[in-house]
Amino acid sequence: LEDGYDMWLRYVKVSNQKLLEEYRDQLSNVILSDDSPIMNSVKKELEMGLNGLLSKTIIFGDKLKEGAVVLGTPKNSFLVASQKFTELSKISGDGYFLKTQKIKGNKVTFIAANTDLGVLYGVFALLRKLQTQQPISNLNVISSPKMELRMVNHWDNIDRSVERGYAGLSLWDWSKLPQHIDKRYVDYARASASIGINAIAINNVNADANFITVEFLEKISVLAEIFRNYGIKIFLSVNYASPVILDNFKTADPMNPTVKKWWIDKVDIIYRKIPDFGGFLVKADSEGQPGPKAYNRNHAEGANMLAEALMPYGGLVLWRAFVYSHTQNDRVREAYDEFVSLDGKFMDNVILQIKNGPLDFMPREPFSPLFGAMPKTNLMIEFQVTQEYLGNANHLLYKAPMFKETLDADTFAKRKASTVAQILEKIVFEYKHSGMTAVINPGTTRNWTGHPFVQSSWYAFGRLAWDYDLASDDIAQEWIKMTFSNNKKVVNTLKEIMNQSVKAAVDYREPLGLTHIGTGSHYGPAPWSKRSRSFHCASKDGLGFDRTSSGSNAVEQYNFPLSSKFEKTKTTPEKYLLWFHHLPWNYKMKSGNNLWEELVTKYYEGVEIVKKMQREFSSLKKEIDINRFNHVSALLEIQLRDAKRWRDSCVLYFQQFSGMPIPEKFEVPE
Ligand code: GCW
């Protein structure tokens, strides 16, 4: 029975009979040497994948005949080395190539790379071709990752609760580690590697200091070993006050020599247990977390102390830029105000980890202006796959279009195009390190993510970190085929549903640049709450937050010409209108509607889209297995209920200020 456990690694028999025959001929025996842990993973994956997809037992051997698949690097494969492939010099890092080549009259498929990990990525690429039923008779694919760090963050606590997780307990079963190795650890690593993930921070940024005690390092090193076999490095979130919490120090001042020594010793212990340890992820001086501020030190001083300890081992400090205090009048300004003056002050092995928008994973935010403002500081981006503000694991969402909106945004940091993605790719500034990370939510729920479609955003994130130029539509198509089926109707219908999902989610919640108007739990609507009011600023004279020069002037944080574009209402994209401006209710929109009418229209449209998604999904009853069909159908019902709640709460709340009627066309009985 389908239950979503295999996610996009469903290796079921290829349904197209003709293709199946072809694949069987083209992939008749496999030649590789599994002399390293990663090559061993290569072998296992290929075996599992081909046995399942081709529904026959795959033969491993060394005979070069028609239909052979040759895998390896020039170092571990004589056959790869002997071909003197020019492709090898064209791929970078852990890239790979897939190539069909004739050798002594035999047609052979090569999966080759400069590193073992590259070969593993190549195997997943080949399996993906089979899963999505692509021809493989004349392969000529070269692919290299665009981002250095392709990372995920878990907000998993030591007691196995998961902050903003919504999908069961944390995967890491601490009380049974290091003795018991849950099969899920391996399957998790496979899924991660299949989309190119190469780094993982396993614990919550609101960090429990105990994760770096010897007792826990023992457990963590077991996970590290499993992940290492799939090319994934472990990072740990650390509590800045660890010396105080764990060893009764009076201070955690980064300039204090005994504090420095404490971290040097700690890092040494960690690397003894985990030789390829990635480094520390730190949330400091944010939302009550300890940090250098308590000792009058700035973020750079705070981060550099840890960076110095990690430097000899090649470890990194990922220092989060998510900071705000409750006293500032505009939270959106804060990270920039705090960090820009520190540009150039961070050590080379520090990366500033910045959320995609300047506020906090809202349904829609313009990109964080920090991305175009720190030429001398390594930066990486933090996205959220888990649906904290977007219906938790109850609502259907495919976030690739959101990710792309940020990645494709031009920061105007340089005269020629300098998009967020290009900055992260290190081709705009001379960064030493960079990358993309996402907060993901897998837990002990059978299907890992709660809502089966949360998997689609996780999948898309990985694919985009590998190549941000991929179209969200193409990624959706891949994911659907791998996760559900190659059936045309299923593919087209689910794609349609997924593509509308972000628009729906924004429109029934916070259209036109409205933001942060949810409840304290971040699930339902609460435009009346104190916090919400401080963001939407609704009054009789209008709606929206004035971030222009007459208000908080957050617009000045963007490079020219964006700063002047956002300063003026007419040149601000309407999707961000109320983010930057406070406008009268009768403000004329591009559609001809006034602001009030447009707002109401969006709220109603959002709900209509959900109804449409529901209708479209129900048409797949015969095409999708009953388990997942029923599950998603039930969740869509919840989503529709919630969408109406958002719409009605917000429209009625704002109406008391606009004083205008709800346009008649929306008064149809439901
Ligand atoms: O979005 C907010 C969340 C917190 C989270 C914080 C952060 C881990 O509500 O739960 O804490 O962001 O990113 O640090």
Active site (annotated) includes residue 187: no
Instruction: Calculate how far, in angstroms, residue 206's C-alpha sits from the geometric centre of ligand 1.
Output: 8
Judge if 455 and 414 occupy the same domain: yes
pLDDT, tens digit (0-9, with 9 covering 90-100), for 389-399: 999 999 999 99
Separation CA 31–CA 111 (nearest Å): 10
Atom of ligand 1 nearest to the CA of 439: 13
* Inside any domain, residue 10: no
Let me know if residue 488 belongs to a domain: no
Choice from 164, 202, 392, 441 to test ligand 1 binding pocket (greatest atom count within 8 A of CB): 164
Asked if residue 668 has pLDDT above 80, the reply is no
Atom of ligand 1 nearest to the CA of 163: 10
The per-residue pLDDT for range 591-619, each reduced to its tens digit, is: 999 999 999 999 999 999 999 999 999 99
Q: Beta-carbon neighbour count of residue 239 at 10 Å?
A: 24
Paired tokens of 98: 């897939």
Report the residue among 360, 385, 440 best suited for mutation to probe ligand 1: largest number of ligand atoms under 8 A from its CB. 360
Main-chain dihedrals φ then ψ at residue 315, nearest 5 degrees? -80, 160
670 is catalytic: no
Would you give the DSSP letter of residue 523?
A: S
Quick one: DSSP state of residue 426?
A: T
- Which tokens sit at 332? 């959106």
539/533 Cα distance (integer angstroms)? 9
Residue in 34, 94, 116, 388 annotated catalytic = 388
The token pair at 238 is 């650390």
**Whether residue 383 is found in the same domain as residue 526:** no
Range of the domain at 111: 17-143
Taking the complete model, does pTM exceed 0.95, yes or no? yes
pLDDT at 451 over 80: yes
Is 158 a member of any domain?
yes
60-64, 190-194, 338-342, 510-514: least confidently modelled range = 60-64
CA 637 – CA 630 distance, rounded (Å): 11
Which residues are CB-contacts of 467 (< 8 A; sequence separation ≥ 6)?
143, 145, 146
How high is the ipTM of this complex? 0.99
Query: Which residue, 152, 2, 7, is CA-closest to 449?
Result: 7
Kindly state the average pLDDT of the residues 231-241.
Answer: 98
- Of the listed ranges 3-12, 323-332, 381-390, 613-622, the one predicted with least confidence: 323-332
User: Tell me: the pLDDT tens digits for 548-589?
Assistant: 999 999 999 999 999 999 999 999 999 999 999 999 999 999
Q: Can you give the pLDDT at residue 325?
A: 76
333 found inside a domain: yes
Active-site residue, selected from the candidate residues 25, 218, 287, 541: 287
Last residue of a domain, one of 109, 143, 177: 143
Residues with CB under 6 A from ligand 1: 155, 163-164, 205-206, 283, 287, 322, 360-361, 388
Looking at the fold, whether 120 and 157 belong to one and the same domain comes out as no
The C-alpha atoms of residue 531 and residue 545 are separated, in whole angstroms, by 13
Q: How far is the CA of 220 from the centre of ligand 1 (A)?
A: 24
Assess if residue 98 is contained within a domain: yes
Nearest atom within ligand 1 for CA of residue 287: 14
40 shares a domain with 159: no
Total of domains in the chain: 3
Estimate to the nearest angstrom the gap between the alpha carbon of 179 and the chain centroid: 31
Residue 146 has what pLDDT?
98
On whether both 154 and 287 belong to a single domain, the answer is: yes
Average pLDDT, the chain: 97
281 and 138 part of one domain: no
Provide the pLDDT confidence category of residue 62 given band limits of 50, 70 and 90: confident
CATH number, position 515: 3.90.1330.10
Atom nearest to 205 CA in ligand 1: 8
Are 95 and 53 spatial neighbours (Cβ–Cβ below 8 Å)?
A: no
Q: How many angstroms is it from 506 CA to the middle of ligand 1? A: 20
- Is residue 597 in a domain? yes
CA of 283 from ligand 1 middle (Å) equals: 10
Report the CATH number that the domain containing residue 274 is assigned in CATH: 3.20.20.80
What is the distance between the terminal CA atoms of the chain, rounded to a whole angstrom? 36
The DSSP code sequence of 348-412 is TTEEEEEESSSSSS-SS-PPPGGGGT-TTS-EEEEEE-S-TTTTTTTS----HHHHHHHHT-B--
Residues 204 and 237 placed together within one structural domain of the fold: yes
Q: What is the pLDDT of residue 73?
A: 98
Band of pLDDT at residue 669, cut at 50, 70 and 90: low
Average pLDDT of span 195-214: 98
- Ligand 1: centre distance to CA 237 (Å): 14
Q: Does residue 155 share a domain with residue 251?
A: yes
Among the listed residues 87, 360, 365, 597, the single catalytic one is: 360
Q: Whose CA is nearest to atom 12 of ligand 1?
A: 360
Do 587 and 459 fall within a single domain? no
In a domain, 6, yes or no: no
Residue 502 lies in a domain: no
Q: What is the CATH number of the domain that holds 130?
A: 3.30.379.10
Can you tell me the distance from the alpha carbon of 386 to that of 591, in angstroms, rounded to the nearest whole number?
A: 34
| Non-local CB neighbours of 237 within 8 Å, separated by 6+ positions | 153, 201, 203, 204, 205, 206, 207, 211, 280, 281, 282, 283
Q: Which atom of ligand 1 is least distant from the CA of 389?
A: 1
533 and 451 co-located in one domain: no
Per-residue pLDDT, 233: 98
Answer whether residue 327 shows pLDDT above 80. Answer: no
Residue 525, number of CB atoms within 10 A of its CB: 21
CA distance 410 to 422: 9
d(CA 315, CA 41): 25
Q: How confident is the model at residue 431 (pLDDT cuts 50, 70, 90)?
A: very high
Question: Residues 197, 462: contact at Cβ < 8 Å?
Answer: yes
d(CA 475, CA 499): 11
Bond preceding residue 561 cis, omega within 30 of 0: yes
* Lowest model confidence (mean pLDDT) among 274-278, 412-416, 501-505: 412-416
Q: What are phi and psi of 515, to 5 degrees?
A: -155, 155
In this structure, what token pair is assigned to residue 331? 């939270």
CA 414/CA 391 separation, integer angstroms: 38
Give me the helix-helix angle, 183-194 and 214-228, nearest 10°: 50
Residues 215 and 266 in one domain: yes
**Among this protein's residues, is 287 annotated catalytic?**
yes
What are φ and ψ of residue 439, in 5° steps? -80, 115
Using one digit for the tens of pLDDT, what is the confidence trace for 3-24? 999 999 999 999 999 999 999 9
d(CA 95, CA 448) in angstroms, rounded, equals: 28
Nearest CA to 210 among 174, 257, 184, 163? 174
For the beta carbon of residue 213, count every other beta carbon within 10 angstroms: 14
Dihedral in degrees, nearest 10, Cα atoms 647, 653, 659, 662: 20
- Contacts for 598-604 with beta carbons within 8 Å, 24 or more apart? 598/512, 599/511, 599/512, 599/543, 599/651, 599/654, 600/651, 600/662, 600/663, 600/666, 601/663, 601/666, 602/507, 602/511, 602/512, 603/507, 603/508, 603/511, 603/646, 603/647, 603/650, 603/651, 604/647, 604/666
- Which of 108, 143, 178 terminates a domain? The answer is 143
Does one domain contain both 430 and 521? no
Q: Of the residues 483, 502, 529, which one is the last residue of a structural domain?
A: 483
DSSP reduced 3-state for 588: strand
pLDDT of residue 550: 98
CA of 163 to the centre of ligand 1 (A): 8
pLDDT given for residue 670 in this prediction:
62
Q: How are strands ordered across the β-sheet holding 29-31?
A: 59-60, 29-31, 68-72, 106-113, 96-103, 140-143
